[in-house]
Protein backbone atom coordinates (compact mmCIF):
# COMPACT_ATOMS: atom_id res chain seq x y z
CA UNK A 1 0.00 0.00 0.00
CA UNK A 2 1.35 3.45 -0.89
CA UNK A 3 1.51 6.41 1.49
CA UNK A 4 -1.53 8.65 1.12
CA UNK A 5 0.62 11.79 1.33
CA UNK A 6 3.83 11.16 -0.63
CA UNK A 7 2.97 7.95 -2.53
CA UNK A 8 5.98 6.07 -1.19
CA UNK A 9 5.79 2.32 -0.75
CA UNK A 10 8.23 2.48 2.16
CA UNK A 11 5.90 1.98 5.12
CA UNK A 12 6.35 -0.05 8.26
CA UNK A 13 3.93 -1.02 11.01
CA UNK A 14 5.07 -0.58 14.61
CA UNK A 15 3.47 -1.22 17.98
CA UNK A 16 2.98 1.88 20.07
CA UNK A 17 1.94 3.18 23.44
CA UNK A 18 0.03 6.44 23.17
CA UNK A 19 -1.32 8.50 26.05
CA UNK A 20 -4.22 10.62 24.78
CA UNK A 21 -5.31 13.60 26.84
CA UNK A 22 -7.34 16.74 26.42
CA UNK A 23 -5.38 19.96 25.96
CA UNK A 24 -5.10 22.87 28.31
CA UNK A 25 -4.79 23.50 32.02
CA UNK A 26 -8.57 23.30 32.40
CA UNK A 27 -8.25 19.56 31.66
CA UNK A 28 -5.40 18.87 34.07
CA UNK A 29 -7.67 16.69 36.23
CA UNK A 30 -9.28 14.90 33.28
CA UNK A 31 -7.66 11.45 33.15
CA UNK A 32 -5.81 10.45 30.00
CA UNK A 33 -6.60 7.38 27.90
CA UNK A 34 -3.75 4.94 27.35
CA UNK A 35 -3.92 3.01 24.05
CA UNK A 36 -1.64 0.44 22.42
CA UNK A 37 -2.35 0.64 18.68
CA UNK A 38 -0.36 -0.56 15.71
CA UNK A 39 0.96 2.53 13.94
CA UNK A 40 1.65 2.59 10.20
CA UNK A 41 4.58 4.95 9.56
CA UNK A 42 5.74 6.18 6.16
CA UNK A 43 9.52 5.90 6.27
CA UNK A 44 9.84 8.56 3.56
CA UNK A 45 7.75 11.45 4.88
CA UNK A 46 6.87 10.41 8.44
CA UNK A 47 3.10 10.48 8.12
CA UNK A 48 1.64 8.04 10.62
CA UNK A 49 -1.79 6.48 11.08
CA UNK A 50 -3.47 4.38 13.72
CA UNK A 51 -6.97 3.26 14.60
CA UNK A 52 -8.49 3.12 18.08
CA UNK A 53 -10.50 0.18 19.33
CA UNK A 54 -14.24 0.79 19.71
CA UNK A 55 -13.95 0.71 23.50
CA UNK A 56 -11.20 3.35 23.65
CA UNK A 57 -13.00 5.49 21.09
CA UNK A 58 -16.16 5.32 23.23
CA UNK A 59 -14.18 6.45 26.30
CA UNK A 60 -12.75 9.45 24.42
CA UNK A 61 -16.09 10.35 22.88
CA UNK A 62 -17.83 10.14 26.25
CA UNK A 63 -15.27 12.38 27.93
CA UNK A 64 -15.37 14.87 25.07
CA UNK A 65 -19.16 15.00 25.29
CA UNK A 66 -19.16 15.46 29.07
CA UNK A 67 -16.57 18.24 28.72
CA UNK A 68 -18.72 19.97 26.12
CA UNK A 69 -21.81 19.69 28.33
CA UNK A 70 -19.99 21.06 31.36
CA UNK A 71 -18.50 23.89 29.31
CA UNK A 72 -21.99 24.97 28.18
CA UNK A 73 -23.64 24.50 31.57
CA UNK A 74 -24.35 27.64 33.61
CA UNK A 75 -22.27 27.99 36.75
CA UNK A 76 -25.24 29.09 38.85
CA UNK A 77 -28.98 29.64 38.71
CA UNK A 78 -28.73 33.40 38.19
CA UNK A 79 -26.76 32.86 34.98
CA UNK A 80 -29.48 30.48 33.81
CA UNK A 81 -32.11 33.09 34.49
CA UNK A 82 -30.12 35.74 32.63
CA UNK A 83 -29.96 33.45 29.61
CA UNK A 84 -33.67 32.64 29.84
CA UNK A 85 -33.35 28.93 30.64
CA UNK A 86 -36.77 27.60 31.59
CA UNK A 87 -35.55 24.93 34.02
CA UNK A 88 -33.36 27.21 36.13
CA UNK A 89 -33.95 26.91 39.84
Rounded distance between C-alpha atoms, residue 40 and residue 5, angstroms: 13
Q: Quick one: pLDDT at residue 46?
A: 97
Q: Per the confidence metrics, is the pTM higher than 0.75? A: no
Write down the pLDDT at residue 68: 72
- What is the domain partition of the chain in residue ranges? 11-83
Rg of the Cα atoms in the chain: 20
For residues 58 and 72, give the distance between their C-alpha atoms in angstroms, rounded to a whole number.
Answer: 21
CA distance linking residue 49 with residue 2, whole number of Å: 13
Tell me 24's DSSP state.
S
Separation between Cα atoms, residue 56 and residue 32, nearest integer Å: 11
The per-residue pLDDT for range 37-85, each reduced to its tens digit, is: 999 999 999 999 999 999 999 999 998 887 776 666 555 555 545 555 5
Average pLDDT over residues 8-28: 92
Amino acid sequence: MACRVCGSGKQQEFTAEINIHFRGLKNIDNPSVLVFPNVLVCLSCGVSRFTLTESKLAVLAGRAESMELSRNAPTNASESLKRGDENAA
